[in-house]
Amino acid sequence: MIERAKAILLEVLKEDDKNSEVHHTLASIYLEQGDHDRAIEHGKKAVKLDKSVADYHLLLAHSYGLKAMNSGMLGKFACAKNCKREYETTIELDSSNVEARLGLMQYCLMAPGIAGGDEDEAVRQAEIIQSLDSLSGAYAWASIWQEREDFEKAESALRQAVALDTSSTYDARFGLGYFFQQRERYAEAESTFQEILRLNPDDMRAVYQLGKTYLLAKRNLQEAERCFRQYLQVAPVRYAPSWAAAHWRLGMVFDAQGKRDDALMQLRKAVEMDHDSEQFRKTLEEVEKGE
């Protein structure tokens, strides 16, 4: 279905390359598929054709941000600065855009000063976000407390978010699950993702994160394998882990099981699908060397 839609949109552009909405829609599709280069390419064209649409700048900011996460040092720096600029432009066009403010807050919190990182600005954004939306405010403060290594306050903010979250996407529960993963509280992470699956058995993001939890905990590896294989049966939704990431994780599962040939096959597939990822290449090189 997605490939068909993409083909139709590309045909439209052959007749009219000045259609900003088509470029934006294509950028969105490529971003969902993890093709950050093409997402940026079409996102830039949409913005160039119509600079007044906040959503165009927001999608481009996300594309640059995800590209930065998978780039080398020089590429990371360039993409990161563009990411920040596009978040700021989105906010200039739409001051109540919470998603853009969250993105800018995260950038200011995590980037080095030389690249525009600024904890004071991150706190200022968190205060604005809190005034606009209490749920998003809880997310924002959880990030700040984690950066300051006040994990008790971070967990409290995330639990507050879970209590406030009435969506069907269970984003707050995901945030709490990620927190447990990062703190190596794997039993609690497992329970959190299993609860999401109880509420929505078709949520492939939870399937992926459950597999990741088993892998990080180095237990239930057969179940981890099943999770990643299941994830690879359904096209990822926007901002969910890519299929390349699932092949990477599956390769690590096989490596942990001592199945070197299977591991290499999956890791090579991950690198083939996302050649920009240093992380994927590093893991492949380590397995190839038998490290």
Residue of higher predicted confidence among 275 and 219: 219
At which residue do the structure tokens 């080095």 appear? 112
Nearest in space to 48 (alpha carbons), one of 76, 17, 15: 17
Options 1.25.40.10, 3.40.190.10, 3.40.1280.10, 2.30.30.30; CATH for 1-94 is: 1.25.40.10
Token readout for 126 is 């968190």
What pTM, to 2 d.p., does this model score? 0.83
Q: Are 150 and 166 in contact (CB under 8 A)?
A: no
Per DSSP, the three-state class of 258 is: coil
pLDDT, averaged across the chain: 93
74 pLDDT tier (thresholds 50, 70, 90):
very low
Q: What's the longest Cα–Cα distance across the chain?
A: 57
Per DSSP, the three-state class of 46 is: helix
pLDDT tens across 4-40, in order?
888 889 888 988 899 999 999 999 998 887 788 999 9
Q: Are 91 and 58 in contact (CB under 8 A)?
A: no
Q: How far is it, in rounded angstroms, from Cα 13 to Cα 35?
A: 19
Query: Domain locations in the chain?
Result: 1-94, 102-164
Nearest in space to 103 (alpha carbons), one of 76, 77, 74, 82: 82
**Mean of pLDDT values over 160-171:** 94
